[in-house]
Amino acid sequence: GAVVSQHPSRVICKSGTSVKIECRSLDFQATTMFWYRQFPKKSLMLMATSNEGSKATYEQGVEKDKFLINHASLTLSTLTVTSAHPEDSSFYICSARTPTSGRPPDTQYFGPGTRLTVL
Amino acid sequence: GENVEQHPSTLSVQEGDSAVIKCTYSDSASNYFPWYKQELGKGPQLIIDIRSNVGEKKDQRIAVTLNKTAKHFSLHITETQPEDSAVYFCAASYRGADGLTFGKGTHLIIQP
């Protein structure tokens, strides 16, 4: 399968600071990437859709000013958690979608996740 | 929006036996159904997927079946091995181009 990387794998920060998480598709170009959040022993919840060269689309209830998404190239999307608070502590996972013309087409491959802890 | 129900939440089987996990979805527009395996502290790994133009797909010990009329799909793992122990998630979306809606997951335990 295709390879998606995330950096960092773990981050600990103080309340009020901002944290940036990178998501890269290593062996294919992804015009669309997605950001998910997962609480311990829970399922994945879609936060936003990141489209290369345009604004991200956020799911209902997700604050766009708190979770800033940038998709500046076909292989990189970033999620910045601004003014982080302890309730933002979670496992953040990105996925990258293969192109419709790709093999396989329109398939999401996930990164390894980033564990964020806000003190 | 889409709602995906997954059962059971925990499944314990003897090594070598088969395991079946079932999911139902609510949105008839959904036509792409992937299954992911997640190990502790890692990201989900795609193990198999099916699109609504087929009713069954198989890859070695893993198979997925889809019933569009009843809006349910199932994961079948045969000849289970200890390394199959993990949490399995089903998901649904339109065409695979949209964000995925996940089920709540099934913790599969393979007993030696």
Q: Dihedral sign, CA of B77, B34, A113, A90?
A: negative
List the single residue in A with minimal CA-CA distance to B46.
A109
Nearest to B51 by CA among A27, A2, A104: A104
Q: Under an 8 A CB cutoff, do B97 and A106 touch?
A: yes
pLDDT tens per residue across span B42-84: 999 999 999 988 899 999 999 999 999 999 999 999 999 999 9
What is residue A1's predicted lDDT score, i.e. its pLDDT? 66
The phi, psi pair for A74, rounded to 5°, reads -75, -5
A107 touches chain B (CB under 8 A): yes
What is residue B53's predicted lDDT score, i.e. its pLDDT? 86
Taking one residue from A and the other from B, the number of pairs with CB-CB distance under 8 angstroms is 58
What is residue A102's predicted lDDT score, i.e. its pLDDT? 87
Instruction: Give yes or no for a contact between A19 and A13, defined as CB atoms under 8 angstroms apart.
Output: yes
Q: Under an 8 A CB cutoff, do A46 and B97 touch?
A: no
pLDDT tens per residue across span A42-101: 999 999 999 998 899 999 999 999 999 999 899 999 999 999 999 999 999 999 999 988
A8 touches chain B (CB under 8 A): no
Mean of all residue pLDDT scores within chain B = 96
Give the 3-state secondary structure of residue B84.
Answer: helix
Nearest to B100 by CA among A99, A95, A4, A6: A95
Instruction: Give yes or no for a contact between A17 and A2, defined as CB atoms under 8 angstroms apart.
Output: no
